[in-house]
Amino acid sequence: MQDPLIVTTSTASYPVVVEAGALTSLPGRLADLGLRGALWLVCDAAVAQAYGEPLAARLRAAGFTVHTHGVPSGEASKCADELWRLYDWMIGGAVERRDAVLALGGGVVGDLAGFAAASVLRGIAVVQLPTTLLSMVDAAVGGKTGVNHALGKNLIGAFHQPRLVLADTAALATLAPRELRAGWAEVVKHGVISDAGLFAELEELAAAHHWDERPLAGWPDQDAELALRLTAIIRRAVAVKVGVVSRDEREQGERITLNYGHTIGHAVEALIGYGALLHGEAVAIGMHAAARIAVAMGLCDEGLLERQRRLLAAYGLAVTMPHGLDPEAVIATTLRDKKVQARRVRWVLPTAIGSVTVRDDVPEDLVREAIALRADA
Ligand SMILES: NC(=O)c1ccc[n+]([C@@H]2O[C@H](COP(=O)([O-])OP(=O)(O)OC[C@H]3O[C@@H](n4cnc5c(N)ncnc54)[C@H](O)[C@@H]3O)[C@@H](O)[C@H]2O)c1
């Protein structure tokens, strides 16, 4: 068992555990944190049977009072109606300030349940239990919570740091291959923005392992070596996020680097309709476009672009712009990005594998070139 990673911000300090089988240690860890009130387990419907029910039984056996609530799978659940259902359930069940919300699922449940915890009774504890690769390496760490508004994603929310993050990598065995692939995009992103060693490990893993249709079936029991290796890589990717949010909790500076690939990625997602591409798939396209811009600006060489493209391809991620997208619409949409300041897009651009810079002086023509050509041209 490894020591947990620790997030330390000006408002909070909490452990982040990344292990195959980590969920079994939850009762003891809650007790160690002094969380002895009732537990409000919010669970993605798709993982209720496999992980939610056994977890609730284990917690009850350890003496905890556990209430459970299922959330329908999918982005549509990050909405006011589902949020109000959580309030009705908790307030109707006499939730108290000393209680804690447990968010078991992907980023959807993490954001929704996290925001319910941030706001009910003006804030109670939340523990994030991510079950997708994306939520392990990104959404569960850093305290951003919220729901969507009809006019845009994540427009209503709050910073609410969890008391504990427990990423049980064994849960990835049941994740759909496409969801797993989308998660790899964020892992690659963390390598590019700040950890060249992680990037190199991903290259080695890709060379040694064939990512077929059901890459992790029977895992981790049937392939202990791969389980250890993958868990170590995921932990390293989580460590990047832990470091960034510890240094910049409120996105005053460095945290924007986590947005690498997201400027174009968000625009593509918004234009082709949320759901047509998974977030990670759009981010892969966005990272490729950003690297092309960086090459055109002389910030990095073609080698970086090619290494990144090859690695994304090895994890099943395409980098070509979807057919039929109007480049002018993409550019116009980037100007509506939340990271825009004084109508200047703040681009996160790679300078080397493991390092990025933020620029707000990218000529529009370079963006046009980066997205107009088919990316494999
Ligand atoms: N708070 C943040 O900092 C932050 C960062 C990045 C993304 N997000 C948010 O995260 C959300 C996306 O998260 P996501 O990609 O985890 O999506 P998700 O929560 O929708 O999960 C993806 C799918 O996987 C299923 N699933 C989850 N775990 C499973 C498992 N172990 N086995 C089988 N199926 C499983 C879910 O039912 C769902 O269908 C978006 O709403 C995004 O805005 C938040």
204: annotated active-site residue: no
> How are the residues of the chain apportioned to helix, strand and coil, as percentages rounded to the nearest 5?
50, 20, 30
Among residues 190, 235, 266, 309, the one annotated as catalytic is 266
Nearest alpha carbon, ligand 1 atom 18:
106
Domain boundaries, the chain: 5-175, 182-215+260-372
225: annotated active-site residue: no
- Give CATH for domain 5-175: 3.40.50.1970
**170 CB under 6 A from ligand 1?**
no
Nearest alpha carbon, ligand 1 atom 7:
139
Nearest alpha carbon, ligand 1 atom 21:
106
Pocket test for ligand 1, best of 132, 181, 338 (most atoms within 8 A of CB): 132
**194 CB under 6 A from ligand 1?**
no
**137 CB under 6 A from ligand 1?**
no
H-only helix segments in 273-344: 279-296, 302-314, 327-334
- Give CATH for domain 182-215+260-372: 1.20.1090.10
User: How much is the pLDDT for 356?
Assistant: 98
Taking the C-alpha atoms of residue 288 and residue 64, their distance in angstroms, rounded to an integer, is: 48
**139 CB under 6 A from ligand 1?**
yes
- What lies within 8 Å, CB to CB, of 253 at 6+ separation is 247
| Separation of CA 278 and ligand 1 centre (Å) | 10
| Separation of CA 135 and ligand 1 centre (Å) | 6
122: annotated active-site residue: yes
Query: Could you read off the pLDDT tens digit of each residue along the chain, which spans 377 residues?
Result: 789 999 999 989 999 999 999 999 999 999 999 999 999 999 999 999 999 999 999 999 999 999 999 999 999 999 999 999 999 999 999 999 999 999 999 999 999 999 999 999 999 999 999 999 999 999 999 999 999 988 888 889 999 999 999 999 999 999 999 999 999 999 999 999 999 999 999 999 988 877 766 678 777 887 888 889 999 999 999 999 999 999 999 988 999 999 999 999 999 998 987 778 999 999 999 999 999 999 999 999 999 999 999 999 999 999 999 888 898 999 999 887 766 777 789 999 999 999 999 999 999 999 999 997 554 44
**70 CB under 6 A from ligand 1?**
no
Nearest alpha carbon, ligand 1 atom 10:
107
262: annotated active-site residue: yes
**248 CB under 6 A from ligand 1?**
no
| Separation of CA 15 and ligand 1 centre (Å) | 21
259: annotated active-site residue: yes
Contact by Cβ (8 Å): 29, 109: no
User: How much is the pLDDT for 373?
Assistant: 54
DSSP assignment of 220-262 equals TTT-HHHHHHHHHHHHHHHHHHHHHHHH-TTSSSGGGGGGTTH
User: How much is the pLDDT for 24?
Assistant: 97
- What lies within 8 Å, CB to CB, of 278 at 6+ separation is 178, 179, 181, 182
**138 CB under 6 A from ligand 1?**
yes
Taking the C-alpha atoms of residue 191 and residue 352, their distance in angstroms, rounded to an integer, is: 11
**131 CB under 6 A from ligand 1?**
yes
**41 CB under 6 A from ligand 1?**
no
Query: Which residue type occupies 331?
Result: I
Distances (CA, A) of 150 to 78, 80, 153, 158: 11, 10, 8, 18
Residue 119's H or E segment, with its range, is helix 107-119
Among residues 78, 163, 181, 262, the one annotated as catalytic is 262
| Separation of CA 111 and ligand 1 centre (Å) | 9
pTM, entire model: 0.95
User: How much is the pLDDT for 338?
Assistant: 65
Contact by Cβ (8 Å): 241, 260: no
Count helices and strands in the chain by DSSP H and E runs: 13, 11
